[in-house]
Structure 1
Amino acid sequence: MEQDETSESESENEVYSVFHFGNKSNEAYKVQINVNECEIAMEIDTGASVSIMSEDTYKEYKSKFRIEPTSAKLRTYMGEQIPVIGRAIVNVIYKKESAKLPLLIVKRKGPNLLGRDWLNKLQLDWKDIFSVVGSDNQSRDLNVILEANKEVFKDELGTVKGMKAKIYVDESAVPKYFKARPLPYALKDKVEKELERLEKEGQIQQVEFSDWAAPIVPVVKENGSIRICGDYKVTVNAVSKLDNYPIPKTEDLYATLGGGQEYTKLDLNQAYQQIELDEDSKRYVTINTHKGLFRYNRLPYGVASSPVDDILITGKTREEHLNTLSEVLSRFKRIGIRLKKQKCVFMAEEVVYLGFKINKHGIYPVESKVEAIDKAPSPTNVTELKAYLGMLNYYNRFLANLSHLLKPLHVLLQKDTKWSWGKEQEKAFIESKQLLKSASVLVHFDPKKKLILACDASPYGLGAVLSHKMDDGSDKPIAYTSRTLTSAEKNYSVLEKESLAIIFGIKKFHQYLYGHPVTIITDHKPLIGLFREDKPIPTMAASRIQRHIDHIRVRNFDCTNNENEEKCDNDSDLFEPEITIPISTPETEQPQIEKTSNMTEQMEPRYPKRIRKEPSHLKDFVLK
């Protein structure tokens, strides 16, 4: 490739060559780069003076780029000129590096090239890049698999063979018909073009009459194009009988990633629209537009029966990974499914999946999502507050002490509470953002490693963190969890709250804990004696405490006090140090106080120095 940059200076008209451009004989080295919040695969080209993006990739993420005219001219090594669409200054993130760099967009299909201009600014991790590409044999293995299944990557809408989707609707359901909603003028032409495309491909057909009709919701994609979705929540979704197939939760999916070294992410081309609809089901998914009524022939976006479509593949070894990939692609080929190759990622060190960044070390929040939450303005009403908490709670597994921190915000969600955003709410709002930005990596669950469950309680909430004891002796978190106390639970004694925190942690992480030896860490020493199997349950113990003791003793758990454990990042300061609460002592409560005091005589005593530090009016009556 040659670059001719029109300039007053002759010295700026330098000539550069790209030997591998269009030459597939040599295996290319690729790297995933975050460009304007888009994960872009780029081929490393030390012979190119500039970095370029292909037209296909640009169309895919058009809305993310603001291009300007440029006088730059590009030519291949053989002298062929490559038309340049424009130039953009983009935000580039690689590992922990970030920079604003120029990028040329070319009117040509092909790979995106990372040239010397970016190579001079970014310190690439060559060890990881070489390990991804591997030896010639390893690279050839992947290429052989892709070549054998190239039919799967055809640029066309696939059709799943041997099956059709059927929508089951309650027999007593009354048909619902909604008028077309007015469209923004800026989207009207794009919606019309998309309708024409869908009709041309046979995905939809115009009809004169329908007793079912849903309005449309046009969604603007990253590349600026339109996706037409029917608002089926007001029509068929409300009366359809859903297939009760057990869709796994995200934590269930992530729990299977332990030991994975590389990751492949497959993106289906138009996803569920590759499945034809049963003839009787077509009337339920009719859409009403400003161009009239259209009936889908394929399963459309927005129907409750079609929720997810991304596929993630990994393996403990490269051979296992390639074998799984080969089997998946072979099945897709056999039944007629098509993938969008430019959005697929193969054998990558790191991928973004379902809003999380994943690599062999663990799971991370996605920087762009964290940035979006960080830029969120202070809520002005309950609806905006719920929207913010919804975004934040998506990453709650990364956030210790979240429920305690958000207490001032949760108060505003209570019934009959007047909206009042003050300094306390603003402080909690800002601190919650800082907590997310400082979130650490969560390691993958490994059934072969020792599990540690650290639990704690505060006057307002419960918290727990599940961790692995690593080979180097350190503790690394797998997930955090927390919740606020109910009004009744706030009246519990400190002993009851601390035991409730343990029960909460056990129930929350039951799928991880069951069948594995677990060490439970608590900072409340009296609980240790109660949970020991060699000691009888105190006969005068409150029934709630007795239930908690029974719940823990039947499991293979070992309880210890964190004052005897080495201090670690994840089991300390789940909540503020204060663990006692003021309790009123009306005369009606005195018999209960005397009754529980008998129970404490059978417990291990709390550390005297810790009791002495507490003001007398705050001391727990159970301990007294």
Structure 2
Amino acid sequence: MFTIGVVDETGVETKYITRKKLRKFLRIKTKSIDEPEFMMVLTNETIKQVARSLQRRDQPDNVGNAKVQRYLETDWDSFKDNPAFPLLVEYKDSVFRPELPEGLPEKRDIEHRIDVKDPNLAVYRQQWRQSPEQQREIVRWVIDMVKKKLIRPSISPHAAPTFCVRKPVGWRIVHDYRYLNSNTVRQSIPMTRKEDILDAMSGAYWFSTMDLMSAYYQVRMREEDIKYTAFQAPNGLWEYLVLPMGVCNAPATMHRLTSKLFRDLKNTKSFYDDIYVFTKSHSIEEHLEALRKTLGILRDNKLYVKLAKCVFCANEIPCLGDFVGRDGVRMDPDKVQTIKDWSVPRTQEELHSFLGLTGYVQRFCPEYASLTATMFALLKKQNKRNAKIHFNDEQLKNFKELKRRLCNPPVLHLPDFSKPMRLRTDASKFAVGGVLFQVVDGAERPIAYTSRKMKSAELNYPTQQQELLAIVHALAAFRIYCLDKPPIVETDHKSLEGLFTQKMANRRLARWYDILAEYQPTFSYLPGAKNGIADALSRRPDLQPETKFFHDLSVTSFNDTSFSLALSEVTTDTELATNIKKAHKKDREIQTIFAAIKRRTADPKPKRVSQHHKKYRCYSEADGFLWYQTPTDDVPRIVVPNDLKLRQTIISECHDTNYGSHPGAE
């Protein structure tokens, strides 16, 4: 009935049925003027071929979006000019196939297993209704999967609902395995970290990447666990013979398989179904040899690769959301464009999405922590994701600045562990920051950035301890880079050069000494004028503490009165200030002074000056606090209420610092 041939100007062969055959098949005797000359029967592969044909016809040779180009060009002609083409042809039938071979995958030592918590619990959930189009699509998909021998009819007591999710072309079939997952014992398998893969590529010259085709369908289910994968469809109950998507521990099984296969190849790394081959030699032959070993393992284990997503013998490849190459790591241009087009968030959900995306690439932004601090504050006000939010001028400025920086990100250098690491840190009054870098060919190449806002208690630290805090924070952030070889720490605080020869002042310093002793860093003095990056990380004005009436630490002085202590300015935190303000409201005598100040403000020149007017003339009210200042005082001092616990807290703050009356017993 159907004919194979070219039906339109795209030049793509497809199945079609003529008008005459269609009328005969449907037994239609009437004739319509609007009937087409033929009817096309489109499959997913046909649609891809049409898209590929249009792409070649409408796009110039230098297509801007390389990712789309690689996806559309699935034919072998696109690799003819690649140095690896003869090698790829050698593995054309054994590794590179247009689709998976019919039948079950190779039986291997690693199969997916489902260990349930309660074997007697039947996990059954009622199937919800689907539209007629969705039902037809599910039935068509089931027939196709049965033909490929990947599923079979089931009599299992378990059953998961099936539904459809729309794709750009067609539907994606999805099963709701949430209840099965809740009854499954989770596997604790260490996963390969992205940073470890990137670090392994340091110094590489040639790169290749491959992607397994329908990777889960290339892994068998353990026979006794097949019953748990049962799912409902309009045409019956079915169960998987291969690893289905949506079950927990599926990524762990995939990781176990690929990591076991390639663990003996030093030039090959895997991350689930992604395979990366890299060589440091400039010789293309050496890279092709490493690629041959990897393809040989895939062939021996009958694993198949999706050619459309492969890149061979390149100076840069997409890798786990970034692009890694000879110059280092750079952001994916697609992510840069997404951030560039992002409008100002209007709800908490939109802000969550924006911060989630930018958080993934924060290592490319030296001042990420400081720029997002005010935006994160908007997420604390309400706990509703659809709650409306409004950016003030400062938040809007930070939002635009963050977008500007991420749209022009630096290229991060891949670390060379054979050379010493250098760490440059700095601390301001409200934040700490640092940059990890190496000197390559006389130029400083940044590897990563870090910064954070100081905690409330850390605002009280003396300058030297804040500088030391920045070093401790940076060493913790870059721990794995600084353990093998003692790092060189550059700081603009000269006294830290002789840190290990100083006498321990208190327990905090002793604890930090223990941390530093693990790294054995070498301190190098760097004038502040040359410490640009780290200095900028720590001196963002949006990281300044909210309490504006407390300034630099000064010597504490006491004015002995019958009801309170007058305390000069002390750097403290918002919690202590709040406690003082609450105590002011409870102190009767302070409330009497507040009342006298109000009367004085209302009538600054009374006809008769009362005794209270004279007694309380040195007191004033500002920011909700009571202040005391005599004519001989340079600055006003906050009045501390007659609260024993509060007094002890303040005395401890002043007593146990290097600027107190003495440095304390420790």
TM-score normalised by L of structure 1: 0.69
Match of 1:180 among 109, 112, 127: 127
Residue of 377, 400, 414 corresponding to 1:444: 414
Task: Say if 1:363 and 1:109 are closer, same or farther in 2 by CA, change over 3 A.
Answer: closer
3-state secondary structure, aligned to 2:363 = helix
Note if 1:167 corresponds to 2:228.
Answer: no
What residue identity is the alignment partner of 1:340? K
1:397 alignment counterpart: 363
Correspondent of 2:211 among 263, 267, 276: 267
User: Do the aligned residues in 2 keep the contact of 1:349 with 1:359 (CA within 8 Å)?
Assistant: yes
The letter of the residue matching 2:157 is S
Shift of 1:90: 5.0
Q: Residue 372 in 1 paired to residue 338 in 2?
A: yes
Cα displacement (A) at 1:547: 1.3
Letter in 2 for 1:287: F
Aligned: 1:334 with 2:300: yes
Residues in 2 aligned to 1:226 and 1:501: alpha-carbon distance in whole angstroms: 52
- Report the CA distance between 1:191 and its aligned residue: 4.5
Relative distance call for 1:413 and 1:170 in structure 2 (3 A) is same
1:228 aligns with 2:173: yes
* Structure-2 separation of matches of 1:161 and 1:495: 63
1:168 alignment partner, SS class = coil
| Aligned mates of 1:220, 1:543 — CA distance in 2 | 60
Q: Post-superposition shift, 1:358?
A: 1.3
The residue aligned with 1:287 is 231
> What is residue 556 of structure 1 aligned with on the other side?
520
C-alpha change, 1:190 and 1:374, in structure 2 (3 Å) is: farther
How far has the Cα of 1:359 moved from its partner?
1.0
Query: Which has the larger Rg?
Result: 2
Structure-2 change in CA distance of 1:601 and 1:161 (3 Å): same
Which SS does the other structure have where 1:379 is aligned? coil
What is the correspondence of 1:316-465 to structure 2 with a 5 Å cutoff?
Answer: 316-317=280-281, 318-414=284-380, 420-423=389-392, 424-458=394-428, 461-465=431-435
Structure-1 residue corresponding to 2:597 = none
Preserved CA contact (<8 Å) 1:91 1:99: no
Shift of 1:387: 1.8
* Correspondences of 1:480-519 after superposition (within 5 Å): 480-490=449-459, 492-519=461-488
Q: 1:357-401 deviations in whole A, cap 9, x for unaligned?
A: 111111111111121122233333323222221111111111111
Matched, 1:200 2:147: yes
Amino acid of the residue matched to residue 153 of structure 1?
F
- Report how far residue 411 of structure 1 moved: 0.8
Please give the alpha-carbon distance, in whole angstroms, between the structure 1 residues aligned to 2:74 and 2:421: 53
Q: In structure 2, what is the Cα distance between the partners aligned to 1:600 and 1:91?
A: 77
CA contact (8 A) 2:348 2:389 kept: no
Instruction: Give the count of matched residue pairs.
Output: 491
The match for 2:539 among 559, 562, 576 is 576
Q: What is the letter of the counterpart of residue 270 of structure 1?
A: S
CA shift in 2, pair 1:243/1:426, >3 Å: same
What's the counterpart of residue 118 of structure 1?
none
Q: Secondary structure at the match of 1:243?
A: coil
Cα displacement string for residues 249-296 of structure 1 (whole angstroms, at most 9, x for unaligned residues) = 111110100121111111111112111111222222233345553321
Contact 1:219 1:229 in 2 (8 A): no
Question: In structure 2, what is the Cα distance between the partners aligned to 1:92 and 1:498?
Answer: 55
User: Structure 1: how far apart are the matches of 2:521 and 2:220?
Assistant: 52
CA distance in structure 2 between the partners assigned to 1:286 and 1:113 by the alignment: 41
Partner letter of residue 445 of structure 2? K
Q: Which residue in the other structure is 1:277 paired with?
A: 221
- Given that 2:329 and 2:413 are in contact with CA atoms closer than 8 Å, whether structure 1 keeps it comes out as yes
Q: 1:145 to 1:381 in 2, by over 3 A?
A: closer
Pairwise mapping of residues 531-550 of structure 1 onto structure 2 (< 5 A)?
Answer: 531=499, 533=500, 535-538=501-504, 541-550=505-514
Q: Would you say the 8 A contact 1:182–1:290 is kept in 2?
A: no
Measure the CA separation in 2 of the matches of 1:216 and 1:86.
32
Give the whole-Å Cα distance in 1 for the aligned partners of 2:173 and 2:212.
Answer: 17
Distance of 2:349 and 2:476 partners within structure 1: 31
1:147 aligned partner? 90
Q: TM-score, normalised by structure 2?
A: 0.65
Q: Which structure 2 segments of 5+ residues have no match?
A: 1-8, 10-42, 252-271, 552-568, 571-639, 641-646
C-alpha distance in 2 between matches for 1:267 and 1:256:
19
Instruction: Answer whether contact 1:178 1:213 (CA < 8 A) is retained.
Output: yes
Alpha-carbon offset, residue 312 of structure 1: 0.8
SS in 2 for 1:574: helix
Show CA shifts across 1:316-341 (max 9, x none): 12344333222221111111111122
The answer to whether the 8 A contact 2:655-2:662 is kept is no
Partner of 2:450, secondary structure, is strand
Cα pair distance change 1:367/1:549, threshold 3 Å: same
Equivalent in 522, 525, 530 of residue 491 of structure 2: 522
Q: CA deviation at 1:427?
A: 2.5
How far apart are residue 577 of structure 1 and its match?
Answer: 6.3
CA shift, 1:452, in A, is 1.2
Task: Give the CA deviation at 1:60.
Answer: 5.4
RMSD of aligned alpha carbons: 3.9
User: What is the distance in 2 between the residues matched to 1:156 and 1:600?
Assistant: 79
1:514-542 C-alpha deviation (Å, 9 max, x unpaired): 1113111233444444x3x3x2234xx23
Q: Secondary structure at the match of 2:538?
A: coil
Q: Which amino acid aligns with 1:421?
A: H
Give, in whole Å, the separation in 1 of the partners of 2:381 and 2:120.
34
In structure 2, the partner of 1:30 is: none
| Cα-to-partner distance string for 1:480-524 (whole Å, 9 max, x where unaligned) | 233444454455555444322222211121111111131112334
Distance 1:460 1:204 in 2: 61
Q: In terms of mean alpha carbon deviation, does 584-593 or 421-430 score higher?
A: 584-593
Task: Provide closer, same or farther for how the CA distance between residues 364 and 245 of structure 1 changes in structure 2, counting only shifts above 3 A.
Answer: same
Unaligned stretches of 5+ residues in structure 1? 1-5, 7-54, 68-83, 115-128, 134-138, 603-624
Residue identity (%): 25
Checking the alignment, whether the CA contact within 8 Å between 1:191 and 1:218 is kept in structure 2 is no
Quickly say closer, same or farther: Cα 1:438–1:181, change in 2 above 3 A.
farther
My pick for the range that moved more, 360-369 or 513-522, is 513-522
- Say whether the 8 Å CA contact 1:216–1:287 is kept in structure 2: no
Partner Cα separation in structure 2 for residue 182 and residue 462 of structure 1: 56
CA distance in 2, matches of 1:509, 1:463: 12
Deviation at 1:469, TM superposition (A): 1.2
Instruction: State whether structure 2 residue 216 is matched by structure 1 residue 253.
Output: no
Amino acid at match of 1:161: K
1:467 deviates by 0.9
Distance 1:108 1:279, change over 3 A: closer
Q: Which deviates more, 360-369 or 168-177? A: 168-177
Is 1:313–2:273 an aligned residue pair?
no
1:59 shift after superposition: 5.2
Deviations 1:62-101 (A, max 9, x none): 8xx6x9xxxxxxxxxxxxxxxx66876559877xxx599x
